[in-house]
Structure formats: C-alpha cells, structure tokens
Chain A
Amino acid sequence: MNAASAPLVYLVDDEDVVRDALAWLLRSRRLLAQGCASAEAFEALLDALPAGVDWPRAPACLLLDVRMPGTSGLVLFERLVERGLTQRLPVIFLTGHGDVPMAVAAVKRGAFDFVEKPFAGNALVDRIEQALAASAQAIAARAEWRRVADALAELTERERAVLRLIVAGRPNKLIADALDISVRTVEVHRARIFDKMGVKSAVELANRLREHQAAPGSGAR
C-alpha cells in the first residue's frame, strides 16, 4: 500500500486542539489524517489539483466542522456538491450545540453523516472507516464510468449509430436495412464495438451502458 493508494482523512476544523486530538486518535487506529484550519484552506488544496484527473485516487473522507469563522462547513459542503465530489469524498459533519437541524439537512443533501460534539472517539473512527469504504466504492465506480466513457469516445460516428440500434435490440438484418448498409458491414462494426467496449455480448453491452447512464452525475470532473 503506497502513499498514493493509502486512505486519507481530511480534517477541517478551526480548533487546532480538535484537529490535533482527532489526528492523534486516527493515528492510533492506523489512519492517515491531513488537517486544514479553515474551509478556504481546504478549497485551496482542491484548486491546486491538476485538472482533468479524477480525484481522489485513494479512498478519502472529510471531517468537517459546521461552525467556523469565514466560510462555514455548510457552505463548503455545498461547493463540494457542486463539484460532484461528495460520493468519492464522503463528508462527516462535526456539529456543536444547536447545529443539529442544519446537519440533518446536510445529510439529506448527500452528506455521509454527522457527529455531535463532544464525540465518542472510537465510534467516530468506525464511522470514518465506513466512509472510507464508501469512498473506495465510489472511486471504483468512477473509474469504470470513465473507462466506458473513454471507450464511447473512441467509437466512430457509424459505430455509434450501430451501437444505438444494437442496444435497442435490433438484429443485424434490420440494422443493415435501417442504416442502408450490408449485413456484413454491420457484423464488422459489431465486432469492433464489442472489442472497444471490452464486452462479449449485446446483453453485456446494454448493461454496461445502462450503468454508465445511471451515474452521469459522478462524471462532472
């Protein structure tokens, strides 16, 4: 497990003590943590990432304090939702007194969970581990989606037309009629599509495309 693939927990809290204590706790459970003193700092970190690359590569999650000077945790969360990161970077809110309704609303908007301060240490770490697992799953799904998208991008215009008809369940004969080409040509296209998409049957192809289309939101970046 190298540094790039090791799970990482981001801590965003304005209290140094809390960040330090949490990092200490996580280290005792063999988890790496990276702290940010404010939402702005974390966003700067995100903006520094190279464009066009899916991030995070390794499972990660974010412990986010609701009440902070400057940009609040909720605002940061909204920005993450906009970036489509909340699947691969599950967010766990740390809430103080009176912030619970806000946190509940955030969970409804897609946050992974919220934990009220003062929190019970190991229970929180258990929850973090679950979040990391979810993150890993989301990252894998994202990779798959990216692969299908790339394969689709590689198809020629004609192949894409054939693909649409295959997915619609038309036999080769009808496809040839519809596109006004020979059955033989259709078969060639079909073989090439299957090859490019890495599938062995029309059913497999249809499934893959359906999955791909079912998760369009995760591909914003």
Chain B
Amino acid sequence: MATVAAAAASARTRRLLPWALLLALLLVAQSMLVALSLHHEHARAQEEADAAAAEAAAALRAELLRSVQSLQSLLWNEPSAQAWRADAAELLRARRDLLRLERRDAALTPTLALDTPLGEPLFVALPRAQLMVDTEVACRAAQRSAAPHFSRSYFVPMQGGLGIEVIDLCLPIAGEGRDRYMVATLALAGVLERALGPAALRHEYSLVEGDGTRLARTGAQRGAGVFRGEQLIALPGTLLQLRADAVEGRPRLIPNLTLALVVGLSVALFALVLLLARDVRRRARAETALAEALAFRKAMEDSLSTGLRARDLAGRITYVNPAFCQMVGFGADELRAAAQPPYWPPEHAAQYARRQQARLDSLREDGPAREGFETVFMRKSGERFPVMIYEAPLVDGGGRHTGWMSAVLDMGAQRRVEELSRQQQERLQIAARLAAVGEMASLLGHELNQPLSAIASYAHGSLNLLEQPDAQTPALLGEALARIAEQAERAGRVIKSVHDYVRRREQAHEPVRADLLLEAVQPLVQLQARKSGTRIELRCPQPPPRVRCDRTMVEQVLLNLTRNAIQAMEHDTPPERRLLQISVLPPQQRRVGFVVADAGAGIADEVRQQLFTPFFTTRSEGMGLGLSLCRSVVEQHGGTLVLETLSAADGGGTTVRFTLPHADGGEPAAPAAPADAATLADAAAPATRRG
C-alpha cells in the first residue's frame, strides 16, 4: 500500500514538476524584464541628463561669446565718450543680463559707469571699490593677452539681504584714449536664462562652484537630484561648471511591474489559448468517437431482429427499437404516446395490466429474471401472436433505477415453423400410411394375380382343347382342372391371411384412463389452438373412467375432431368467442361418452349429407378421410359417432359425440343400437351447454 501511495505521490510530483519549472522560469523572466527595463530607463535618463548638460554648456558658451562680441562692438571705431554712452545705454536696455558697463583707465579706476535701467543699480549696498579684486585680476589678464577676459564670479549683496552672483568681463580698449579697459558686469542667472531660454523644462540647469555651491539656476523648477549631467565651460579667464539636473526622479517600479504583468498575462493568455485549442481538438476527437459509437449502437439496434422495449417505472414506453415497431406494427411515436400499450389484445388488457404490476414488483425485489415469460401481443392489424419477453431493470448513470428494459421475441415465426413442420409431419404420416396401404394392396394384388392368371390360363387352354377334342383331351383337362383347384385354394389362403391381420389388431385393445387420452393429445391441440388464439376447456369426471380401446386410434380420432373444431372457428368466429370444449361424460350403460364442441359457424345441411363419405372434404388441404375414418374407428370399437349443429340461440357451433366401451363395466355390448346413442346424446347435452 505504501509503495502504491508513494508511486501515486511521485506520479503527482512528476506531473506537477513541469508546471513548477514553467512558473519559475516565467518569474525569472519577469524579474529580468523588470530589472532590464529599469536599468534601461536609468541609463536613458542619465544619458539624457548628460546630453542636456552638454547642450546647455554649448549654448551658454555661445551666448557668452555673443555677449563678448556685442560688447566689443561698443568699442569699434573708438567712439567718443558721448557716443559710447549712448550705445552703452541702449545695450543695457536691450539686455537684461547686462547689469553695468564701466570704462576704466590704465590704473583700473572707473572713468565712466552706466547701470542697467531695468533693475536696481549694483553696488549700492556695498561700494564698487570693495568688490574689485576679481575685476582687476581679469583686466590684468586681458591687458596681457590683449583679449577679452572674464573674471571669476562673485557675489554682490543687494539691499534687503539678497544678492546676486555676477561675473565681470574685461575688454581691453585699444587706441590712444585715456580709458584702457571696458568692464561689463553680467548676471550669471540672466546669462543662463538668456542662453537656455524657457524651453528647458525637463531639467534644472545651474551653475555651480567646485564645492557644489549653486551660483545661478534656470529651467525647470527643481531637479530631482538623481540624474545629473555636469559640464565645464572654459572661458577666457574663468571656468564655469554647469549642471543639468533631470526633473524625473528614480525610475519607478510600478509602471514596469504593470508592463511585466501585461506581458505575463499575455504569456498566460497565449498558453491558455494553446491549452484551449488542444482541449477543443481533444473534445472534437471525443465527439467523433462518441458519434461513431452511437452510430454503431444504432446500427446494432436496427439490425436486431429481437424487439427492444424500455419502460419507465410507471410502465410507460420510453424507447422501442425498429424491430419492435415492425413486430407490433405501431410506430415508435404511437407507442410512446399511448397510455396503455396498444399491442395488448383488448380482451386481455386488464389481466396484462395486473400481471405487469405483479411482475415489476417481483422483479424489483428479486432482481432480473433469467427466464423469460410467454404472452400474446396484438399487431396493428389485430392479429394476435405469441411473444417471449425477457426483462431487466434499467439503471441510469447515477445508479438510480429508472425503468425496465425488455427483449421481445416474436414466437409467431417459430410457431409457424413448428406448425408447418407439424403439418408436414402429419402429411408425411398420412402419405406413409397411404403408401403402406398402397403397398399392401399391391402385394395383395400380386399375391392374387398369380393364381388368378394361372386359373385363367388353364381355363382358356381347356376351352381351346374342347374346340378340337381328341383322345388325350380328357386327361389334359383333368390335369388343368386340378391345377385350377390348386390355384383357387391358394387365392383363398391369401384372403384369409388378411382377415387374420385385422383380427390381431382388434386384440390390441386395452383399458386406458379417459383423462390420459385427453392429456396425450393436449400438447398438439394446444399448439393448434394457440395459432388462432382459441381457448381450451377440458372436463373429466372424477375418478376418470377407463375405456377399452386401441389407444393410438382413439387419439387419432380426438386429434382429428379437435382439429376440425379449431379450424371451424379460425376465420368467422371473433377471437373472444373461440372456445374449444373437450369433455368426458360419466359412464352410462357400460359406455363412456366423449364430446368435442366448438363455437364455430356449424355445418351447412348440404355439407352434412356428404360428411361421412370417404374422400369428401371442404378444405383445400384436406384428404377427406378425417370424419369417415373417425367413424370407422369408433364403430370398430363398438361405439357410435354423432354430429350436431347447435342453433344460434344455443350459441351456435358444432358438437361431436362418440362413445367407447367402459373398461370396468364388463364386456361391451356389440355394435350399439341407435337408441343407445340417442340416450347418450341427451345425457351429454346439458354438459355441453354449460360452457
């Protein structure tokens, strides 16, 4: 048991393992995806920040160089102080970042200074002289290189505690004038703003010092401080550090998770679709197999010659196969719709209903019956036929008992075969008997022919001799006459032997109980009766009388009479009236009466006249020996056979009575007197009318 459990567990593990692996793989793939996308985004943002920084640095440098150029343009052609002043004022108005312009002499003393008209003048809180160090350094450098030079940036405090970071640009003035330098003070923030403009929204741009102190800023409100690009801007005289700080912060996990989820779901969906497709294929295969199985079963049911019938617990028909429909002649729908099976003969319907109930009850208790039972069904045409039914309970898929399934065999065909073979047998017997009779007649003829031929020859020869008699004639005639006498004797012996044979037959009579005679013929009679649906009533007094008879012959008589009776009712009598009565009457005057009565149409008078004539028959198949033979047999036994047709008032039909000697009543009287028969007929009459 343990190994079985282990085996089951390992089987389950084996089955689950691929799924677990698949899931793990999916998870790893998803994590990788998330990590990679995060990394990618990170790199992209960093690159963007770097690019932005480089771009901004280039723009700033260009801007500063443009400023240098525009400032240089102030000095072109050595303008007079007046002209410079006008130009400078205009420039200051035009450029917001330009805060102050100064002209200085060789000793760096300002000779002329103009402040921007757009804002407060610089150097109010603190005089210019105190903030000259960087300017001076720049001017000296400019002097030396004879090129514009920037100073380091420095902070100019303003009124109100605020201040502004500025940078000075010192341009050496060429020529013979007093002033040797022009100093422009630029606001770093203004320069920055001017260079980058309002477009820079994705990053915060700032100029910082080496230690990170921010000097001026522009662009987006505030960088996230995660992705930063820094760029150094080398200017003559100074070095500016520009930093671009991306607005976007760290790449967030959630959007990437969503992406992963979507991908994962897609994968799962795809897998599901695959599974579904496989399932659909499998289902289709199963459906095909099922349809084939159904077709197979249907063909099987259709090909069956056995009728199948299913009924629910209430006895209503739920299913019939074609063989059953064909058998009873009703359609399947008709059968299902009917409350009571239409193939029940109306005369038996009540009995069948009771029987069915009883049978179903017993089947429910005892389980399916192995042996079938036999009954009679009716075809649509009204024809009755015997069937054999085997029943078994019908159990549905849930194990519930839902009804009854029966196999119905049409015994009619079998009966017909039986009947046919019986008739064949009878005919053969008759033929054999006739052949025997013929053979005997032939033998007899041969036996008699020889002496007769010889006699004729001798006689004719003698006559010939007498025509021309001579001396030898008397002797010859004597010889011939002796031969004639001899042959005549021989013929006599032949005839005597036939007599002996008949006498031996008579000695075969034995006492037989009357009921045994009836029992002996009963199976054959029933076989015939069943075919036409005739009921049989047997009646015999108790104790049964014994009759002295040749048993075989009397049985033949009974068979002949009952067959006549059944055939008389076969066509014109309605089925419910088909009743055959066979009665034995109590012994009277050392005779036992037998009565065979039918309910047929009776016998017409003109037929009656010829009834006992040998070879007269009203049937196409008949031999015409039946009744005359019966009478011969009965008379051989010293009895009588009478036949009467009842009037319609008495129920109609034909009654045949015959008598046989009573075995216990001493020696039977020799051939019965007519009066005897009449008494018997009267005695029998009440008994017959009873039925």
Contact = CB atoms under 8 A, between A and B. Distances in A.
Contact of B450 (A17, A25, A121): A17
Contacts of B480: 24
Contacts, number: 78
Contacts of B453: 18, 21, 94, 117-119
A102 to B, nearest CB: 13
B451 A17 contact: yes
B454 A28 contact: no
A67 to B, nearest CB: 7
A121 B438 contact: no
A6 B483 CA distance: 28
B460 A96 contact: no
B452 interface: yes
B446 A22 contact: no
A137 interface: no
B441 interface: yes
Contacts of A25: 457-458, 460-461, 464
B456 A118 contact: yes
Given A17-B450, A28-B464, A28-B465, A96 B445 contact: yes
B456 A120 contact: yes
A34 interface: no
Of residues B456, B463, B483, which shows the largest number of chain A Cβ atoms within 10 Å of its Cβ? B456
A21 B446 contact: no
Nearest to B464: A28
Contact of A97 (B449, B459, B462): B449
B357 interface: no
Interface in A78-100: 94, 96-98
Contacts of B452: 117-118
B315 to A, nearest CB: 66
Contacts of A119: 453, 456-457
A15 interface: yes
B442 interface: yes
Contacts of A117: 449-450, 452-453
Of residues A17, A21, A67, A119, which shows the largest number of chain B Cβ atoms within 10 Å of its Cβ? A21
Contacts of B483: 17, 20-21, 24
Contacts of B451: 17
Of residues B441, B458, B461, which shows the largest number of chain A Cβ atoms within 10 Å of its Cβ? B461
Contact of B460 (A18, A94, A120): A120
B445 A98 contact: yes
A124 to B, nearest CB: 8
B564 interface: no
B487 interface: yes
B455 to A, nearest CB: 8
A146 to B, nearest CB: 37
Contacts of A94: 453
Interface residues of A, number: 23
Contacts of B441: 97
A97 B487 contact: no
B460 A20 contact: no
Contacts of B454: 15, 17-18, 20-21
B487 A122 contact: no
A122 B464 contact: yes
A173 interface: no
A97 B460 CA distance: 22
Of residues B450, B480, B487, which shows the largest number of chain A Cβ atoms within 10 Å of its Cβ? B450
Contacts of A20: 454, 483
A27 interface: yes
Contacts of A98: 438, 442, 445
A29 interface: yes
A119 B453 CA distance: 6
A117 B449 CA distance: 6
Interface in A1-49: 15, 17-18, 20-22, 24-25, 27-29
Contacts of B442: 96-98
B119 to A, nearest CB: 164
A9 to B, nearest CB: 13
A120 B456 CA distance: 6
Contacts of A17: 450-451, 454, 483, 487
Nearest to B465: A28
B458 A24 contact: yes
A137 B648 CA distance: 79
B461 A118 contact: no
Interface in B421-456: 438, 441-442, 445-446, 449-456
Nearest to B445: A97
Interface in B25-60: none
Nearest to B451: A17
Contact of B449 (A22, A27, A28, A96): A96
A88 B162 CA distance: 180
Interface string A105-130: 00000000000011111100100000
Contacts of B463: 121-122
Interface in B457-513: 457-465, 480, 483, 487
Contact of B457 (A67, A96, A121): A121
B449 A21 contact: no
Contacts of A120: 456, 460
A21 B446 CA distance: 16
A25 to B, nearest CB: 4
Nearest to B486: A17
Interface of A: 15, 17-18, 20-22, 24-25, 27-29, 67, 94, 96-98, 117-122, 125
10 contacts: A18-B454, A20-B483, A21-B457, A25-B458, A25-B461, A28-B461, A94-B453, A97-B442, A98-B438, A117-B452
Given A96-B445, A97-B441, A118-B456, 15 more contacts: A17-B450, A17-B487, A21-B454, A21-B455, A24-B480, A25-B457, A25-B460, A25-B464, A98-B438, A118-B453, A120-B456, A121-B456, A121-B459, A122-B464, A125-B460
